[in-house]
Amino acid sequence: MTTVRSRRASYVALSRSGELDARADALEALAAPCRVCPRECGVDRRFELGECRTPLAASVASWNRHMGEEAPISGRFGSGTVFLANCNLRCAFCQNHDISQRPQDFAGHEMGPQTLAGIFLELQDAGVHNLNWVSPSHQVPALVRALSVAARRGLTLPVVYNSNGYDSVETLRLLEGVVDVWMPDLKFADAAVGAELTDVPDYPERARAALAEMYRQVGDAWELDPAGAVTRGMLVRVLVLPDGLAGERSSLAWIARELSPQVAVSLMAQYRPCHRAAGLPGRPELARRVSASEWRAALEALETHMTGDRHCVQGMPLALGW
């Protein structure tokens, strides 16, 4: 079900009651010792760097009005994307590896909450539909602290949580009523493949638990603004990999069975051999794009398991030689 109405972001009420500051306090407590993400590396992020190589203060790579997200996210006026530096995964095929896997490039350039809040407000002034946190999993405490500052200064944009799916359920529970739109990846269905390609041993288990928590908070319905951009809801991204490595059929079946067949899915054919993928030992299939037959099989799985009408199918027919 989709409803259309103009609404303020949920965190506005939390800000007025003081609850948003309390959530920021609780999230900062998760960072010392750090258990913000499922790596739970246990360092004190105020003074040490953990697996994500990121301090407690925000590390931001860039921000802009982005027209290249899925249509319900970019809408007519763009999504206000804030690209967070570094990552809690080390995907061999990361298309943003210059941002996610080069922490030395961002060391010493961290932002305080007032500065980051100013970026949020700058994006709102640009007329975008939403505030889109890209790769936020390891920087949630700094983001929510800045959000609290920005809300007091007039921010009302709905927050999009645009993550790799490797999120802590404990952290996500503290984001209930803070995040309006959940947009996680579901990268792998097989733990061994996930371990090989991301450097974490338990990706499917952790990501599925995270998606279940996101679904608990917003369900499978969408709310839209008058221009057609989603202001509350969930959209799961599934990137099709060569030779079925993503296990998209299994992931889609899990979404339909454990969440709802009405959950919106963004099925993506944009894989290209970036970063270390082309030369990864034992994985020659990662040196090529997805084939037309692999893409058709993924589309068939989507049609088989998901019954909703809000799916975003992002094929690249020219690049694939269709």
Mean pLDDT of the chain: 94
Contact in structure between 221 and 3 (CB atoms under 8 Å) = yes
Q: What is the DSSP string of 106-145?
A: TTT--B-HHHHHHHHHHHHHTT-S-EEEES-TT-HHHHHH
User: Rounded to an integer, what distance in angstroms lies between the CA atom of residue 207 and that of residue 202?
Assistant: 8
* CB-based contact 150:158 (threshold 8 Å): no
Q: CA-to-CA distance for 279 and 286, rounded, in angstroms?
A: 8
Domain housing 151: 2-314
The set of residues, in sequence order, having a beta carbon less than 8 Å from that of 146 and lying 6+ positions away, is: 58, 111, 113, 114, 116, 117, 120
Residue 309 burial class via C-beta count within 10 angstroms: exposed 0-12, middle 13-18, buried 19 and up: exposed
The yes-or-no verdict on residue 202 having pLDDT over 50 is yes
Give the 3-state secondary structure of 286-309: HHCCCCHHHHHHHHHHHHHHCCCC
pLDDT single digits (tens) 151-172: 999 999 999 999 999 999 999 9
Beta bridge partners of 185: 237
Cα–Cα distances in Å, from 222 out to 38, 92, 261, 298?
28, 33, 14, 24
Residue 236, pLDDT above cutoff 60: yes
pLDDT digits (tens, 9 = 90+) for 33-53: 999 999 999 999 999 999 999
User: Residue 141 domain-assigned?
Assistant: yes
pLDDT tens digits, residue range 108-118? 999 999 999 99
Planar angle of CA 15, 17, 20, nearest 5 degrees? 40
Is residue 320, in this structure, part of any structural domain at all? no
Q: What is the pLDDT of residue 222?
A: 96
> For the whole model, what pTM was predicted?
0.95
Provide the terminal-to-terminal Cα distance of the chain, rounded to the nearest Å: 34
Judge whether residue 6 has pLDDT over 80.
no
Q: Count helices and strands (H / E) in the chain.
A: 11, 10
Per-residue confidence at 321, pLDDT binned at 50, 70, 90?
A: very low
321 lies in some domain: no
- Please state the domain count of the chain: 1
List the CATH number of the domain containing 271.
3.20.20.70
Instruction: Let me know if residue 319 belongs to a domain.
Output: no
pLDDT of 3 reads 61
Question: Average pLDDT for residues 93-105, to the nearest whole number?
Answer: 93
- Angle (nearest 5°) at CA 128 between 230 and 264: 20
- Contacts by 62-70 with C-beta closer than 8 Å and gap 24+? 62/99, 63/119, 63/122, 63/123, 65/123, 65/126, 65/127, 65/128, 66/132, 69/132, 70/235, 70/266, 70/312, 70/314
Quick one: pLDDT band at residue 322, thresholds 50, 70, 90?
A: very low
Q: Is residue 73 part of a domain?
A: yes
CA 200 to CA 217: how far, in whole Å? Answer: 26
Q: Taking residues 139-161, what's their average pLDDT?
A: 98
Residue 109 lies inside a defined structural domain of this protein: yes
Instruction: Decide if 59 is inside a domain.
Output: yes
Give, as one character, the DSSP assignment of residue 194: H
Q: At what angle do helices 19-29 and 140-152 cross, to 10 degrees?
A: 160
120 token code pair: 């949020």
